[in-house]
Structure 1
Amino acid sequence: MKVAVLGTGIMGQGVARHLADDGHDVTAWNRTREKAEPLAASGVTIADTAADAVAGADVVLSILFDGDAVEEVLRDGASGIGSDAVWVQASTIGVAATQRVVDVAAELGVDLVEAMMLGTKKPAATGALVMLAAGDADLIARVQPVLDSMGAKTVTAGPSVGDGTKLKLAANAWIASITAATAQSIALAEALGLNPQLFLDAIDGGQSDTPYAHVKGASMIAGDYPAQFALDGLRKDIGLMLDASAGTDFDPTLLRSLGAVYGAASDAGFGSDDIAAVRTGFRGTGSRD
């Protein structure tokens, strides 16, 4: 299929490269062209504008940072999109912004579904994401070959665009929690004078174990945080979770605490590092100078 990828950050680069490797005809666009140009070596066509990128595409993927960016690019790209194309909103932008995008798509006559990407840099680059789709079933069926290429499986969250966003926020709340919990136990072990590896050894193979703790825990112990999922991205998502839950009977106490510890790590200079750098949000690690 002919696919346009709009946004070539950490996730967009991996997705565009993998789709091209998997036999799709891929065109990519990024506001800063230099960030997209390395994809040309993988057979991806680089476009100068969003409208140029979507011209002739069967599927358009928007993989951008926030709702304002998605809305702006949707308006810019709509002038070039064909009547048979389906726009797949894959950016984590929250419930309110998603509704704005739905309204703009309706105004512009663009067929829209969403497919949130559950996973980080490596799964994006290897087609091993979990895709959280929502929207009209016939439109999802039309883009399914691309979703199958991007992900190990697709979970359909519901019939309305926005249902996938809600599920993604719930899933990312879990990621935020277990990453911070791993950091807390490692920090506590160190504060009590223990080798923090002992914590990982203690949970290894038990009912409370998760492979994720060992992957992120190793990074925390090494103090090395190459970005798979940028900490500021997850910090943003925690804010979206709080916004979405306002007015419901959900108690946001834990989310607020998570926001504080990820915020402390970001304020210490680790916002562009991997989420494992939340370890620096606990006392005793200092700031990056």
Structure 2
Amino acid sequence: MKAFLGMGHLGSNFVKAMINKGEEVQVWNRTASKAQALESVGAKAFEEITDAVRNADVIHLTLKDDAAVNEVLDKASSAFKPGVIIMDHTTTSVEGSVERTKEWKARGYTYLHVPVFMGPQNALESTGSMLVSGDQELIQSVQPQLEKMTGKVINFGDKAGMAAGMKLLGNHMLIAITAGLTDTFALAKAMNISKEDLSALFDSWNPATSFPARLKKISGGDFDNPTWELSMARKDAGLMMAEAKAGDTDLMVLPHVIASMDNWISKGHGKDDWTIIAKDAL
């Protein structure tokens, strides 16, 4: 028997996928109607959280944040079955993940943080990626269950909280990419270049192909052998800012990048590879 707490878009589709695989799932949500809506596909909904987790061997969570996870687990704990395994798919802080692992172990239960790079459709189709770290014996025992839920399980070793950190790093990259795309669309608009023409550029040229080499260059600190000198990158950034100004457009990312470029140029690094702006982060 499984229980699932948190029937947002992700949690609801996880439950639908489990039921499609023939599993029995008890569900709960703070707004009861969201859990009750899943009864039409075979889930058993409960208004009381303690009833939802009663007799469950595994409890899954997809909630908002650390505070919500702590609150929900505390309210449900009086009905936990001895030996229950708690699998938390919520994006949380590293500290919260570590503390819950310790706390629930001390209380006689097993907590495993399993954040995901999965959207609702991935949850329904059992595709995407799940991240996990911590007790390797435990992970090995539950891996078959996790593999049923996702296309890939990525194990980051025995350090509790590592999966939480990796999830935040991944989400940071997604935010950075979206912010960069936002500036790119804004700059295109300032230059009277259509969204369709911009898309055609990336249909023909994929900047993501340079990512592995750039990551290697930055992580290796190889700034003395430039493929694009910082001074030249700064010149191009200046052209971009001039076009944005002419089009009466504000950019959210580029001004901060330019400030970093100017700082490194002032220190005498204009001839180095432009990726030197990442040096202090290493």
Q: So what's the TM-score if we normalise by structure 2? A: 0.70
Q: Residue in 2 aligned with 1:171?
A: 170
Q: Deviations over 1:176-212 (max 9, x none)?
A: 11122222211221122111121111011434158xx
Q: Residue in 2 aligned with 1:110?
A: 109
Q: Is the 8 A contact 2:58 2:86 kept in 1?
A: yes
Give the 5 Å matches for 1:138-217: 138-208=137-207
Shift of 1:106: 2.8
In structure 1, distance between residues paired with 2:111 and 2:206: 41
Q: 1:47 and 2:46 equivalent?
A: yes
Q: Residue in 1 aligned with 2:60?
A: 61
Gaps of 5+ in 1: 211-280, 284-289
In structure 2, distance between residues paired with 1:155 and 1:199: 34
Q: 1:125 and 2:124 equivalent?
A: yes
Larger radius of gyration: 2
Q: CA RMSD in A?
A: 2.0
Letter in 2 for 1:41: S
- Tell me the secondary structure at the aligned position of residue 91 of structure 2: coil
- Tell me the secondary structure at the aligned position of residue 161 of structure 1: coil
Letter in 2 for 1:108: R
In structure 2, distance between residues paired with 1:143 and 1:83: 17
Q: Deviations over 1:103-129 (max 9, x none)?
A: 431342211111111121211221112
Q: Is the 8 A contact 2:86 2:111 kept in 1?
A: yes
Q: Is the 8 A contact 1:74 1:105 kept in 2?
A: no
Gaps of 5+ in 2: 210-249, 253-282
Shift of 1:100: 3.2
Q: 1:4 and 2:3 equivalent?
A: yes
Q: Percent identity, aligned pairs only?
A: 28
In structure 1, distance between residues paired with 2:128 and 2:180: 23
For the structure 1 residues 193 and 179, does the alpha-carbon distance in structure 2 shift closer, same or farther, using more than 3 Å as the test? same
- Tell me the secondary structure at the aligned position of residue 51 of structure 1: helix
Q: Residue in 1 aligned with 2:17?
A: 18
- Tell me the secondary structure at the aligned position of residue 48 of structure 1: coil
In structure 2, distance between residues paired with 1:31 and 1:102: 24
Q: Residue in 2 aligned with 1:216?
A: none
In structure 2, distance between residues paired with 1:105 and 1:81: 11
Between the two proteins, the alignment pairs up a number of residues equal to 212
Q: Is the 8 A contact 1:127 1:152 kept in 2?
A: yes
In structure 1, distance between residues paired with 2:160 and 2:24: 26
Shift of 1:161: 2.7
Shift of 1:148: 1.2
In structure 2, distance between residues paired with 1:184 and 1:202: 15
Q: Deviations over 1:230-264 (max 9, x none)?
A: xxxxxxxxxxxxxxxxxxxxxxxxxxxxxxxxxxx
- Tell me the secondary structure at the aligned position of residue 79 of structure 1: helix
Q: Is the 8 A contact 1:129 1:150 kept in 2?
A: no
For the structure 1 residues 46 and 204, does the alpha-carbon distance in structure 2 shift closer, same or farther, using more than 3 Å as the test? same
Q: Is the 8 A contact 2:3 2:53 kept in 1?
A: yes
